[in-house]
Amino acid sequence: MAFRKLPGVPVSAMGLRLSQKFAFLLFLSGLVTLCLGALFFLPDSVRLKRFFLPKTTDSASTNTNTNEAATQSGAIVELAEKARADRERQERERSAPFKPEPNVKLRVSRKPSVTRGDATSGTAERATGAREERRARTPRGDATEGSTAARAKGYTYDTFRKCLLKPALGNNRGKPSDPQTVERRDKVREMMKFAWDNYRRYAWGQNELRPLTKNGHIGNMFGGLRGATIVDSLDTLYIMGLTEDYKEAKEWIHTSLDLDLSGEASVFEVNIRYVGGLLSAYYLTGDEVFKQKVLELGEKLLPAFSTPTGIPRGVINLGSGTSWNWGWASAGSSILAEFGTLHLEFVHLTELSGNPVFTEKVMNIRKLLDRIEKPQGLYPNFLSPVSGNWVQHHVSLGGLGDSFYEYLIKSYLMSDKTDEKAKHMYYSALEAIEANLVQKSSGGLTYVAEWRGGILDHKMGHLACFAGGMVGIGADDGTPEKRQHYLDLAAEITNTCHESYSRSGSRGTWSLSQGAWGTRRGTPWTGCQSITGHKNDLHTHTFIHYGHFWTCQSAYRACLWTGGGNQSTRSKPPQHGENMQTPHTHRVTVGIESPTLEV
């Protein structure tokens, strides 16, 4: 303080006024609070809690029931320890190759029962009791419910083929007796042949064809994997009877599909296109080359699950196994539509290999999602793979969320309707969606809005148009009083998608009349109306396909013919896009638009 009295000596901080000291201390305390809060509340920093949370005293507690452990203090620590032990087990399995036991009996879907009621419920009760008894006899039963019996013995394709109710290609290769249908069928085959021949000529071995520049395109979603169009087309070529083209594609898979790569790949895209494509080709044909390739590729995706929660990251290096999430994903989170769209393929990888690790990985995802708290019963699009908490309360049936819900109902159906957990999660989610997202516009259109932290965003993207087919195919297994309601809801959603396309003037599609599924109750359906347009998204076609599948009404097939993309691009000048890409991806790409219907 004495220096203040000497001329030319600057005033020190000790000489600040009381108000200045208070402001400085307030700023300093706020900065410290912000830093400490970031350590504990940001999703990617939860690992720091390990230094402060009490650790469990019983090391064997990691083997107890996951649901009970999650309710105790130190749950995050237990998840981390479990993930570490899981990684060590994987390393041991890789060093000692798995040897499946012989003679598996694969479970296949039974013919759907026509009758309902007490007899059905009694059968279901007995089946449930038998499943519980099987699970009680095996330590892995709870983690792999529905797959224990199938893994008891080694899988053989001959056993699978003998269990089929019908040949894979139908009787007489599915050839219809109606001459008009035969003519249309031949036309569709001609269109496929035209597209395939041009891919083979200009882009053979590449992932996609650039139709304007007439060259191939690899892209950056597959980690260096090539031939995505070939893998995608295997089942179509086989079903259509394009035998020589199928054999050529099969030979390319055998000689040129290289899996020893070190590129960065999307786990989601590789799964739905390569794993899914190879699996479908194998189940149709029994060709061992597809089984060998798909099991090898499936092993390369497993390191993506090496997170504290078991929720996989979205991107993986196929060589090193290093994984991370997309830079644009909120706070390094994983995306619901990506990690929720693995279940069907991974269960079949276990069926083919006898290795339970694939099913265990996706069942762990299922258990975590069922256990954690969900806002209003809804599943937000972003989840932290570190903490297992939702990162944002953004809910959508369009991009980022769509196929998760589809895989729930299809998992139930694929399990011969024994996967009760998938059924419960699907119908619970559907009820929450109806209660919070399904809206009716002033013009009478039913749409599925998006939900952002309790606030509705009244728009519906075209990726959500798959929901019409999803709700329709799941209607028959809902509660009896809601079955017709679900059918009506499916028709209303699909009709809204038609209106979106037709009003925008940029989509060729068709419309649906109210109660289009009334044919199941004996009422003829005539709701198809042809509309011309520049191009056509196929998400709404799912509903019409299921309509014909369930009712066998020719009106559905006629509707797909008049508005389902049968118009040849050579018959009239179209508007072109430079890229052909999978419609499953949620990312907007060149030549593919994302129209929304504002209501």
Q: Map residue 135 onto helix, strand or coil.
A: helix
Task: Please return the burial class of 463, using the count of CB atoms within 10 Å of its CB with bins 0-12, 13-18 and 19+.
Answer: buried
Asked if the model's pLDDT at residue 552 lies above 80, the reply is no
Task: Return the higher-pLDDT residue of 385 and 124.
Answer: 385
Helix (H) or strand (E) holding 447: strand 446-448
* The two three-digit tokens of residue 494, written as one number: 């699909």
Helix (H) or strand (E) holding 460: strand 459-461
The top-scoring range by mean pLDDT among 52-66, 403-417, 556-570 is 403-417
Spatial CB neighbours of 99, under 8 Å, sequence gap ≥ 6: none
Where does the pLDDT of residue 27 fall: very low under 50, low under 70, confident under 90, or very high at 90 and above?
confident
* The two three-digit tokens of residue 207, written as one number: 């992932």
Segment 44-59 shows an average pLDDT of 39
DSSP letter for each residue of 357-387: HHHHHHHHHHHHHHHS--GGG---SEE-TTT
Asked if the model's pLDDT at residue 100 lies above 50, the reply is no
Residue type, 593: E
CA–CA distance, 158 with 568 (Å, rounded to integer): 40
Please report the pLDDT score of residue 166 as a whole number: 81
CA–CA distance, 507 with 537 (Å, rounded to integer): 7
Residue type, 413: L
Helix (H) or strand (E) holding 208: strand 208-210
What burial letters (b/e) apply to 379-400, b meaning 16+ CB within 10 Å? bbbbbbbbbbbbbebbbbbbbb
Q: How many CB atoms lie within 10 A of CB 103?
A: 11
Arithmetic mean of pLDDT over the chain: 75
Segment 440-449 shows an average pLDDT of 92
Question: Residue for token digits 């009709």?
Answer: 495
* The two three-digit tokens of residue 484, written as one number: 């017709």
Of 285-289, 390-394, 508-512, which gets the smallest average pLDDT? Answer: 508-512
pLDDT in tens, 496-547: 887 777 676 544 444 443 333 333 434 444 444 443 444 455 666 677 777 7
CA–CA distance, 284 with 299 (Å, rounded to integer): 22
Segment 283-302 shows an average pLDDT of 97
Of 245-249, 492-496, 531-535, which gets the smallest average pLDDT? Answer: 531-535
Asked if the model's pLDDT at residue 89 lies above 70, the reply is no
Segment 53-73 shows an average pLDDT of 38
Please report the pLDDT score of residue 23 as a whole number: 82
Please report the pLDDT score of residue 239 as a whole number: 94
Task: Find out whether 316 and 385 touch, Cβ atoms under 8 Å.
Answer: no
Spatial CB neighbours of 245, under 8 Å, sequence gap ≥ 6: 193, 196, 200, 237
CA–CA distance, 50 with 47 (Å, rounded to integer): 6
Task: Return the higher-pLDDT residue of 479 and 114.
Answer: 479
pLDDT in tens, 343-370: 999 999 999 999 999 999 999 999 999 9
CA–CA distance, 274 with 298 (Å, rounded to integer): 10
Please report the pLDDT score of residue 538 as a whole number: 60
CA–CA distance, 210 with 543 (Å, rounded to integer): 30
Please report the pLDDT score of residue 145 as a whole number: 43
Spatial CB neighbours of 123, under 8 Å, sequence gap ≥ 6: none
CA–CA distance, 452 with 400 (Å, rounded to integer): 13
Tell me the percentage of the chain whose pLDDT exceeds 90: 48
Task: Please return the burial class of 319, using the count of CB atoms within 10 Å of its CB with bins 0-12, 13-18 and 19+.
Answer: middle
Handedness of CA 360, 364, 370, 374 (dihedral sign): negative
Rg of the chain, C-alpha, whole Å: 28
Tell me the percentage of the chain whose pLDDT exceeds 70: 64
DSSP summary character for residue 480: G
List helix spans (H) across 329-436: 336-339, 343-353, 357-371, 402-414, 420-436
CA–CA distance, 391 with 45 (Å, rounded to integer): 13
Please report the pLDDT score of residue 561 as a whole number: 78
Determine if the pTM surpasses 0.85.
no
The top-scoring range by mean pLDDT among 21-35, 108-122, 348-362 is 348-362
Q: Please compute, for residue 531, the number of CA atoms within 13 A of its CA located in the half-sphere on the CB side.
A: 21
CA neighbor of 556 nearest in space, from 501, 496, 491: 491
pLDDT in tens, 473-484: 999 999 999 999
Segment 218-228 shows an average pLDDT of 93
Residue type, 179: P
Q: How many CB atoms lie within 10 A of CB 27?
A: 10
Please report the pLDDT score of residue 302 as a whole number: 98
Please report the pLDDT score of residue 556 as a whole number: 73
Question: Residue for token digits 């056509």?
Answer: 536
pLDDT in tens, 134-175: 434 333 334 334 444 444 356 888 888 888 888 888 777 778
* The two three-digit tokens of residue 407, written as one number: 């895989």
Of 97-106, 384-393, 518-527, which gets the smallest average pLDDT? Answer: 97-106
Segment 323-332 shows an average pLDDT of 93
Segment 125-129 shows an average pLDDT of 42
Q: Please compute, for residue 440, the number of CA atoms within 13 A of its CA located in the half-sphere on the CB side.
A: 4
Task: Please return the burial class of 248, using the count of CB atoms within 10 Å of its CB with bins 0-12, 13-18 and 19+.
Answer: middle
Residue type, 160: F
Paired sense of beta strands 382-383 and 334-335, if any: antiparallel
Which residues on neighbouring strands pair with residue 446, listed in sequence order? 440
Task: Find out whether 400 and 339 touch, Cβ atoms under 8 Å.
Answer: no
pLDDT in tens, 180-208: 889 999 999 999 999 999 999 999 999 99
Would residue 334 be called left, alpha or beta, if left means φ above 0 and alpha means ψ between -120 and 50 degrees? beta
Residue type, 477: D
DSSP summary character for residue 399: T
Please report the pLDDT score of residue 90 as a whole number: 54
The top-scoring range by mean pLDDT among 108-112, 440-444, 592-596 is 440-444
Please report the pLDDT score of residue 237 as a whole number: 97
CA–CA distance, 447 with 455 (Å, rounded to integer): 16
Task: Find out whether 306 and 318 touch, Cβ atoms under 8 Å.
Answer: no
Residue type, 419: D
Asked if the model's pLDDT at residue 230 lies above 60, the reply is yes
CA–CA distance, 446 with 440 (Å, rounded to integer): 5
